[in-house]
Structure 1
Amino acid sequence: MKYIHIPTFIIFGVSIFCISTAHFELANAIQYCWTGTFVILILTYSLSMACMGKRIMLPKDKIMKTVCVLGIIEILYSIIQLFGFVPNNFHYAYFSGSLNNPAIFGMLLSFCTPIAVYYAVRTVGAEQMTWKAMAMAFGVFVILSDSRTAILASICGIAIILRMEVNPLRKFICDRRYRLIGITCVIIALIALYVYKRYSADGRVLIWMVSMEMIKDKPWFGWGFDGYVAQYMNYQADYLTAHPDSPFVLLADETQNPFNEFLHVALIYGIPCAVAFVFVTLWTIWHIYAKVKEHKSVLLCTVCVLVVWFMFSYPLNIPFVWLIILFMFLSTITRTVKPPMPKLCMTLVQTTGFACMYSLYVTGAHDIRKLCLQERATNHCDEEIMKEYEEIYKEYYDDYMFIYNYGALLHLRGEYKKSLEVLNAGKKYLSDYNMMLLIGDDYQKLKQYDLAIASYKRAGEMIPSRYLPLYYRMELYLETGDMEKAYEIANMIINKKNKIKESKLNQQIINKAKECLNY
C-alpha cells in the first residue's frame, strides 16, 4: 500500500471500473460525471493555489505506480472475463476488460507499458524484476487487444524511455548507420500494421477524406459541437454517390467520430482552433524536454502516446484520458509566479470552477434523466412512458439520441405519422443510416411509397455495402405488386459485392431475393 496513492486509486479506479451490463449507458454517464467533477475540482484548487503564489507538489511517483497497479487489475479482470466469469461489454472480441471496446482497453495499457519500462530501467533487484514482469504483461495484453494504435503508441513510448534512460542505447542510436536501420524498421512496422487490418485502415482514410470535405465548407468556425454527428453521413453519402467506382464503397460504415482529434477540432470549431491545438501539443513536448527535470522521460513519452492516439482515435472522449491530461498539465508546471491582484484572480478562477460544476450538473442530470426514461421504456413501454416522452420532447428536441429513441418507440407503437414528425425534425441534429431506414418504414406503413423509396435509397447511399436498404425496397415493390422492379432489386442483392457476404443476416436476405426470383 505504500506505493499506492489512495486518491488516485479511487478517482482513476472508478473512472475505468464504473461498469454495468444491465445499465450500460447509465454507467457510462455516471463515469463521465464522476471524472469531470474531479477534473474541475482539482484544476480549480490548483489554479487557486497558483493565484496565491503556491504550487501543488504532486506525488508523481506514487500516482504513476498507482495507474500501473490499476492496469494490472484491468488485466486480471480481462482474464476472468475471458473465462466467462464476468460479462463482456464488447461482443465482437474475446475481452475488453471493464471498458466497452478492446481498443480503449489497449489505450489504457499503452499508457501503463512505458511507465513499467521506465521503472524497470531505474530500479534494481526484486523491484526491478517486478516491473519487468509488469511491463511484459502490459506488452502482451496490448498485442492481444488487437489495436494497432495501442501497439504503435506503446512502441513509441518505450522507444522514448529507452532512448533517454539507457546510456549504451543512446550512444547506439546516435550512430548514423544504426539510426538508418532503426528508421527502416519503423517503416516496415508501420507497413505491417497497415497490412494487418487493411480494410480498417482504408476505412479511416475514407472518413478523413469525407471530413476534409466538411472542413472545406466551414473552415473558420466549424460545424459546432454536434455538427459531425449531424452532417457526416450525408457528406459520406454524397461523396460515395459522386464516386460510385471508388474502392471505398465497400468499406463505408457508420461513424460518430473522425478518428483523428486534430481533424475533429477543425470540424467542430474551425481550422484556427485546430492550429492552436497543434501548437499547444508541440509546445508541451518542447516545454517538457527543455524545462522539466523530474520524470522527464516518462512525461515526454506519455505526451507522445497521447499524440499517437490523437492521430488515429478519439481519446478526448474517454474519461480516464482527462485525468492523464490533468496529471500532465500539473506535472509540467515548473514554477509559479504570483499574479497581480491575486484575490481577483482567485475569485475569477473559483467562479469559473463553480460555473463549470453547475454546467456539468445540468448536463449530467439531463443525460441521466433521459437514460432512466429510456431504460424504463425498454422494460415496459406504456401510455405513461409515452406521455413522459412527449412532455420532455421540447426540452430534448436537439438531443440526437433522444430523438432517435423517441421516434423508434413511436414507430413500434404504430404511431407512424408522429414518428415521422419527430424523426424528420431531428434530421438537422442527426444524419444516420438506421434513422433513414426507420423513416422509410414509417412512409411505407403510411403507404407513401415514393418517399419510402427515397429514404431507403438515401440509407443505401450512406452505406452502399449494406443489404437492408435493397431488401426493404424489394419488399416494398412486392407489397405494391411491382414485380418487375422487385426482380430488378432481387438481382442486385444476389450480385452485390460485400466484404461480409457470409454473415447470417446477409445470407437470409440473399435467400429471400432468390425466393423472389423463383416466385
Structure 2
Amino acid sequence: MRYYDLISCYAYYLFLRNVIRAEKTILAIVLGVSLAIFVNTLYGCGQYFYVFESFHSNYALTGSFFNPAPFAGLIAVGSMFSVFLILYRKSLYRYITNIKARKTIVKFLYYLTVLNILLSIGVLIILQSRASWLAFIIGTSYMVYTKVTQKIKFSIKRYGYIATTFVLIAVCTFFFYTMRKDSADGRVLVWKISTEMLKDFSFTGTGLDGYKAHYMDYQAQYFAKNKASKQEIALSDNVVYAFNDFLQFFIEEGILGFLLLVTLIWFIFKQPKSIVRNISTCLILVLSAFACFSYPLQILPLKLIAFTAIAFIAFSAKNKQEFKLPYAFMRWQILSITIAWIGLQLYNAYSLHTGYSIWKKAFDAYQEMNFKESISLYKNSYKYLKTNGEFLMHYGKALSLAERPQCSNLVLHQAEQYLNNTVVQTSLGDNYTALEGYPQAIQHYQKACDMIPNRLYPHYLLAKMYEKQENFTKAKQEATIILQMPVKIPSIATYQIREEMKELLRMNDKPDTK
C-alpha cells in the first residue's frame, strides 16, 4: 500500500512543479490547504460534540482517520499554513488585486485564519497528543523567528530569542514526558529494541514495510533474555511503528536511503532566505519534530504536505536546470512508456481496491461468526492482497477458527513474512495443537509469551499445553506467572483464567510423567 502512496506523492509533486509558476500560485495553494485543515478541524469539533460519528469506538475525536494520533499530526502541521498567512499577510495579500472588495476579502481571510488557529489549538488540547503539541510549538517559534529576525539587526537579540525558544522547548518536552510517563517510557522501549534491529539491517535495510515483519521477533528475543525490568514488561505491546520515523526509515531503507533523506532535508534548509523558503522549511521542521515521536511518513496527507514543501523549495531554488531530450522520437518513446506504466499502476490500484472491498465483507462475516462465508470471501481477495500481513493474519485466524489448521498454517506462516505478532503466534500454536504437533505448539505459544510477557492468554495457552503433556512442573510455573501478574483491566475472561490456574496448582500436586 505504501508503494502506491509514494506513486501518488510523486505524481502530486510533478503536478505542483508544472502548476507553480509564480508566488501567486503558492498563495492559492496555502489558502487551499488552510481551508482543508479548517474543514477537518470543524469535522473534529463535530465529532467531539457528537454531531458526527467517530471512526474509532474508543475515541470520540479522530477526524477523518481511524485514531487520534494522525489527526493531531495533520492539525499541528497543517496549522503552520495559517500561522504563515497571519505573519506574512502583508506580503501575500498584495497578490489579491483588481478586486473591488479587496479590503473586505483580506479582512475575512485574516479573521478566518485566526479562527482556524484557535480551533486548531483547541482540538490539539483535547487530543492530548504531546508529539503534535511539541511540533506545533517548534513550528510556530520558528515561523515567528523568521519574521522577527527580518527586523532585528543585532545578533544578541537573535541569540536571545533562540536561547529563549530552546528553553521553552526543553521545559515543554519535560512537561510532556511527565504528563504521561508510561506512554513515553513505552516509546523509549520501542526505540531501545529498534536499535538492535538497526545493527542487523543498517546496511541493506529490511525493505519497505519490513519493520513490522521483524520488530516483534526482536522484542521476543529481548524479553527471552530475562534482563528486562518489570516496568518494561508492563509496557510491552504489539508494535508496527517505531514511533520515530527517522529510525524506522533507517531500518527499512538502510544507510544509503537514510543519507538520501538527510541530504534532501539539508538541501531544503540551505536555500537562500525568502518567504517561500520560510514556509517550506517550517513545514519540514514541524514534520521532522512530529516524526521523532510518531509516524507521519505512514500517513498519506502528511506525506502530501511534505511533497508540497519540496515543490515550493524547487520553485524558489535559484540554480534550476531543465532537462530536454535531444530527439523528438525519444520524447514519444518515453511518453509511450510513461502512459503504459500509468495504465498498469491504475489497473493495480483498481485490483487493490477490489481486494480491500472483498476483505471488508469477509471481515464483517467473520465478526458475525459466519466462518464459511468469511473464508470464501478471504479466498477471493487473496490474489489481490497476498502480501498484506494484516489480511493474511485475519485470513489465517478465520481458517483456524473454522478448524482447518493445515490451511491456516500455510497462510499464517506467509503472514509472518509481512506482519508478526501475538495473534499470529497463538493462532499457529492452536493449529499445531489441533494437529497434535505439541512441540511446535509450545514453540509458538512460548514466542507469543516472549513477545508480550504481560499478556495472560499466551501464558494460559502454554500452561494448558504443558498440562496436556503432563509436564506439571512447567504447567505450574506458567500458572504461577499468571497469578502473579497484575490485572490491568478486570474481566470475566481474566477471572476465569485465574481461577482455572488456581485449580491447576491445587490438582496437579504430583510428579511429572514426562
Q: Distance in 2 between matches of 1:173 and 1:109?
A: 34
Hey, what does 1:491 align to over in structure 2? 480
Q: Distance in 2 between matches of 1:505 and 1:262?
A: 40
Instruction: Report the alpha carbon displacement of residue 280 of structure 1 after superposing the two structures with TM.
Output: 1.0
| 1:510 counterpart = 2:498 | yes
Q: Distance in 1 between matches of 2:72 and 2:58?
A: 15
| 1:83 counterpart = 2:43 | no
Letter of the structure 1 residue corresponding to residue 485 of structure 2: K
Q: Distance in 2 between matches of 1:299 and 1:168?
A: 17
SS of the residue corresponding to residue 84 of structure 1 reads coil
Measured against aligned partners, the alpha-carbon deviations of 1:58-98 in whole angstroms (never above 9, x if no partner) come to 72212212222222222222222223343211233221111
Equivalences, count? 481
Distance 1:89 1:504, change over 3 A: farther
Q: Distance in 1 between matches of 2:385 and 2:79?
A: 42
Distance 1:395 1:62, change over 3 A: closer
Distance 1:177 1:81, change over 3 A: closer
Instruction: Report the alpha carbon displacement of residue 493 of structure 1 after superposing the two structures with TM.
Output: 0.9
Q: Distance in 2 between matches of 1:411 and 1:161?
A: 55
Hey, what does 1:435 align to over in structure 2? 424
Letter of the structure 2 residue corresponding to residue 268 of structure 1: E
Q: How does 1:178-193 map onto structure 2 within 5 Å?
A: 179-193=162-176
Letter of the structure 2 residue corresponding to residue 87 of structure 1: E
Farther-moved stretch of structure 1 (350-359 vs 57-66) = 350-359
Q: Distance in 2 between matches of 1:217 and 1:153?
A: 31
Q: Distance in 1 between matches of 2:243 and 2:333?
A: 35
Native 8 Å contact 2:280 2:310 kept in 1: no
Identity score, percent: 25
Q: Distance in 1 between matches of 2:489 and 2:268?
A: 47
| 1:324 counterpart = 2:298 | no
Please, which of 453, 474, 493 is the counterpart of residue 464 of structure 1? 453
Distance 1:125 1:421, change over 3 A: closer
Letter of the structure 2 residue corresponding to residue 509 of structure 1: I
Please, which of 174, 190, 195 is the counterpart of residue 178 of structure 2? 195
Q: Distance in 2 between matches of 1:213 and 1:286?
A: 33
Please, what TM-score do these two structures have when normalized by structure 1? 0.81
Please, which of 112, 125, 132 is the counterpart of residue 114 of structure 2? 132
Q: Distance in 2 between matches of 1:177 and 1:486?
A: 65
Q: Distance in 1 between matches of 2:112 and 2:377?
A: 56
SS of the residue corresponding to residue 416 of structure 2 reads helix
Please, which of 206, 216, 219 is the counterpart of residue 223 of structure 1? 206
Please, which of 365, 388, 392 is the counterpart of residue 350 of structure 2? 365
Instruction: Report the alpha carbon displacement of residue 217 of structure 1 after superposing the two structures with TM.
Output: 1.5
Instruction: Report the alpha carbon displacement of residue 504 of structure 1 after superposing the two structures with TM.
Output: 6.7
Hey, what does 1:274 align to over in structure 2? 258
Q: Distance in 2 between matches of 1:481 and 1:450?
A: 13
Native 8 Å contact 1:501 1:507 kept in 2: no
Q: Distance in 1 between matches of 2:338 and 2:491?
A: 51
Hey, what does 1:244 align to over in structure 2? 227
Farther-moved stretch of structure 1 (309-318 vs 123-132) = 123-132
Letter of the structure 2 residue corresponding to residue 229 of structure 1: K
Structure 1 gaps, min length 5:
1-28
Measured against aligned partners, the alpha-carbon deviations of 1:258-290 in whole angstroms (never above 9, x if no partner) come to 222222222122112111211211221222xx1
Instruction: Report the alpha carbon displacement of residue 163 of structure 1 after superposing the two structures with TM.
Output: 1.1
Q: Distance in 2 between matches of 1:252 and 1:359?
A: 42
Measured against aligned partners, the alpha-carbon deviations of 1:203-241 in whole angstroms (never above 9, x if no partner) come to 222222222222212322112223222211111111222
Q: Distance in 1 between matches of 2:156 and 2:120?
A: 25
Q: Distance in 1 between matches of 2:156 and 2:82?
A: 22
Q: How does 1:294-333 map onto structure 2 within 5 Å?
A: 294-332=275-313, 333=315
Letter of the structure 2 residue corresponding to residue 295 of structure 1: V
Measured against aligned partners, the alpha-carbon deviations of 1:34-73 in whole angstroms (never above 9, x if no partner) come to x7676454444566x59xxx95777221221222222222
Farther-moved stretch of structure 1 (324-333 vs 233-242) = 324-333
Instruction: Report the alpha carbon displacement of residue 479 of structure 1 after superposing the two structures with TM.
Output: 5.1
Distance 1:152 1:424, change over 3 A: same
Hey, what does 2:135 align to over in structure 1? 153
Instruction: Report the alpha carbon displacement of residue 438 of structure 1 after superposing the two structures with TM.
Output: 0.5
Supply the RMSD in Å over aligned alpha carbons. Answer: 3.4
Letter of the structure 2 residue corresponding to residue 63 of structure 1: I
Q: How does 1:11-160 map onto structure 2 within 5 Å?
A: 39-45=9-15, 55=21, 59-123=25-89, 127-160=109-142
Native 8 Å contact 1:58 1:331 kept in 2: no
Distance 1:395 1:190, change over 3 A: closer
Distance 1:201 1:384, change over 3 A: closer
Native 8 Å contact 1:437 1:455 kept in 2: yes
Hey, what does 2:362 align to over in structure 1? 377
Letter of the structure 1 residue corresponding to residue 120 of structure 2: F
Measured against aligned partners, the alpha-carbon deviations of 1:130-172 in whole angstroms (never above 9, x if no partner) come to 4323212111212222111110110011101211224699579
Hey, what does 2:94 align to over in structure 1? none
SS of the residue corresponding to residue 78 of structure 1 reads helix
SS of the residue corresponding to residue 64 of structure 2 reads coil
Please, what TM-score do these two structures have when normalized by structure 2? 0.82
Q: How does 1:316-355 map onto structure 2 within 5 Å?
A: 316-332=297-313, 333-334=315-316, 336-341=320-325, 350=335, 353-354=338-339
Native 8 Å contact 1:172 1:178 kept in 2: no
Please, which of 180, 186, 191 is the counterpart of residue 208 of structure 1? 191
- The higher relative CO (CA closer than 8 Å, separation ≥ 6) is in 1
Distance 1:145 1:435, change over 3 A: same
Hey, what does 1:164 align to over in structure 2? 146
Measured against aligned partners, the alpha-carbon deviations of 1:371-414 in whole angstroms (never above 9, x if no partner) come to 23323323445767646755775775543233222211211211
Q: Distance in 2 between matches of 1:361 and 1:420?
A: 33
Q: Distance in 1 between matches of 2:78 and 2:210?
A: 34
Native 8 Å contact 2:62 2:71 kept in 1: yes
Measured against aligned partners, the alpha-carbon deviations of 1:445-472 in whole angstroms (never above 9, x if no partner) come to 2333332222111001011121111122
Hey, what does 1:406 align to over in structure 2? 395
